[in-house]
Chain A
Amino acid sequence: MDVLYFAWVREGVGKGQERVDPPSDVVTVADLIDWLGHDVLREKTKLRAAIDQQFVPLDTPLGKAREVAIFPPVTGG
Chain B
Amino acid sequence: MIRVTVSEAAIDMAAAITALDGLGGGAVATFTGLVRGDDGVGELLLEHYPGATEAALEKLATEAVVRWRLAGAIVIHRIGAMKPGEPIVFVAACATHRSAALEACGFLIDRLKTDAPFWKRETRGGEATWVGERASDHDAAAKWR
A pairs with B:
yes
Q: Which of B49, B112, B114 contacts A69 (CB 8 A)?
A: B49
Query: What does DSSP make chain B's interface, helix, strand, loop or mixed?
Result: mixed
| Interface contact B52-A50, CB-CB below 8 Å | yes
Quote the shortest CB–CB distance from A67 to chain B (angstroms).
Answer: 9
Q: Which of B77, B89, B119, B132 contacts A71 (CB 8 A)?
A: B119
Q: Within 8 Å CB of B113, what residues of A? A: 74-77
- Could you tell me the distance between the alpha carbons of A7 and B115 in the complex, rounded to whole angstroms? 16
Q: Does B117 contact A (CB under 8 A)?
A: yes
Q: Does A61 contact B (CB under 8 A)?
A: no
Quote the shortest CB–CB distance from A72 to chain B (angstroms).
Answer: 6
Given contacts A53-B52, A76-B46, contact A71 B117 (CB under 8 A): yes
Q: Does B15 contact A (CB under 8 A)?
A: no
B-contact bits for A55-74, CB 8 A (1 contact / 0 none): 10000000000000101111
User: How many interface residues does chain A have, given as a range?
Assistant: 10 to 19
Q: Within 8 Å CB of B118, what residues of A? A: 74-77
Q: Within 8 Å CB of A55, what residues of B? A: 115, 117
- In the complex, the chain A residue whose C-beta lies closest to that of B113 is A77
A-binding residues in B (CB < 8 A):
33, 46-49, 51-52, 55, 77, 88-89, 109, 112-121, 130-134, 137
B-binding residues in A (CB < 8 A):
4, 6-8, 10, 50, 53, 55, 69, 71-77
